[in-house]
A and B are shown apart, each in its own frame.
Chain A
Amino acid sequence: MTPTTENAVILVVDDDRDIVNAICKLLEIEGFKTIKAYDGMQALDCLAQNDIQLILMDVMMPKLDGLSAMMKIRQSRNIPIIVLSAKSEDTDKILGLSIGADDYVTKPYNPMELVARVRSNLRRYLSLGSAGETMGKMDIKNGSLSVDKAAKQLYIDGEPVRLTATEYKIVELLMENAGRVFSAEEIYSKCWKEESYAVENTVMVHIRHIREKIEINPAEPKYLKVVWGIGYKIEKF
């Protein structure tokens, strides 16, 4: 049976059994299959013995910590790994992501968000082949986001997102210049093609709406970020 997003097997690793149980239960309700592990060594064993599509991994664990386990896994596998950690510092996130994590969720997590992230990562991993075709047509690609300029359509992990015309213009502008910061005036004058005056509010409202559509957790956006006191940008991946 080829694994799909709906019947994927997920390995949940955490030294706190209650948390592992809770997560497994949560994922099972959503229709996933789960395997439990309580430290890094067990996780490696489980990975060797089972066909696993995604790993949820805690960082601080006995015997072998999450980061070390992840490094080992990344030597042979490229399955999505979501780090689940109580460490919420930027430095921790950067470290985790640079070692090989695909996503980083801080404890205590929002169950809905966690599920959404699991889905997102699975979708990207599993539908890579078919996605490849669609992605091939795409004009701009950045992480999970891709833009089809001809269709004026934004995709997240291949899924189309419904945007208004103005929202699309903003996304396209930011995507074309991923990583560059645009001030509200710039965005306004480029997307509205009008003289800009006191447009911060207008632009910000649109940004917020876009964020709600493309971000899993709009409060902690992954792509569309506000650069406080300067402007807005889409993070380059």
Chain B
Amino acid sequence: MNNIPNRKAICDVLLEKAKTDKDIVVLCSDSRGSASMAPFFDAFPKQSVEVGIAEQNLVSISAGLAKCGKKAFCFSPASFISTRSYEQAKVDVAYSNTNVKLVGISGGISYGELGMSHHSAQDIAAMSSIPNMRVYLPGDRFQTAKLIEAFLTDEKPAYVRVGRNPVEDIYEADCPFVMDEATVVTDGNVKTAAPSSQVNWDVLPEDLVTIVACGEMARPAVLAGALLAEKGIRTAVLDMYCVKPLDKTAVIAAASRSSLVVTAEEHAPFGGLGSMVSQVVGANCPVKTINLALPDAPVITGKSQAVFDYYGLNAEGIAGTVCENR
């Protein structure tokens, strides 16, 4: 059982890189504990900025720091950073093109028991619709670490959402990762995991089922692939941690040899991964596409796994959806 949440994986990378990179600056809005960033504040006080409970300030100050060459990593619960400071993300980060990485912690329904105010089921839709804003939902701690390392090599705005709770590993420490390429797992076998450009699609059958998932739905999607393999149903799971820019090439390659596409995400049913995948499939390789997501309603109260199970956002639910619609 992995007990390291993705947010701690982010801190570990930044702690290591900040030893030599003095331009890394971490900002929190009274959120260093929930962001797992307290060790960074302790180790690098001169590269840390506390803004108090003021998310608008948090994002604008990050943009100002970035304007002067700093690599600003700005942490706040995803529910607040994605909407409370939405205009600052739009104007000061994306529109002004500042090197700010907005990190939405405790994303999705991590705070399952705390009500809709603390759920970020709109963040993919909100952030993806801003020009020049990239959106990432990594699935495990290893992929999260690779993503943060990649962030340190570019100077473009981005939003990343991670959950509060530890999630089981999908991959191993040397997980396959190419920036902005979906990681493809066939037939639920993680040993096949590869960045989409390295996949030989021609060896896959023409009656494939494509499952596209991101964030905490990536692992259930891979597990669903394994369940379906036992039934003789061949699948390609696209771990679409890069929701924007969506790996359209991978979606088209997989969907064009599939009889069914299923998407799964911890997000409202509109404007998220499912909507984006459906647009690509509809325009390029029309095939039946089912979007699994949270409801268009306040979600039921409970710990996140119980809530996922209630809405069928788990391996059995994804596999069952495939069997019912194939």
Task: Say whether A and B bind each other.
Answer: no
Give B residues with C-beta under 8 Å from A: none
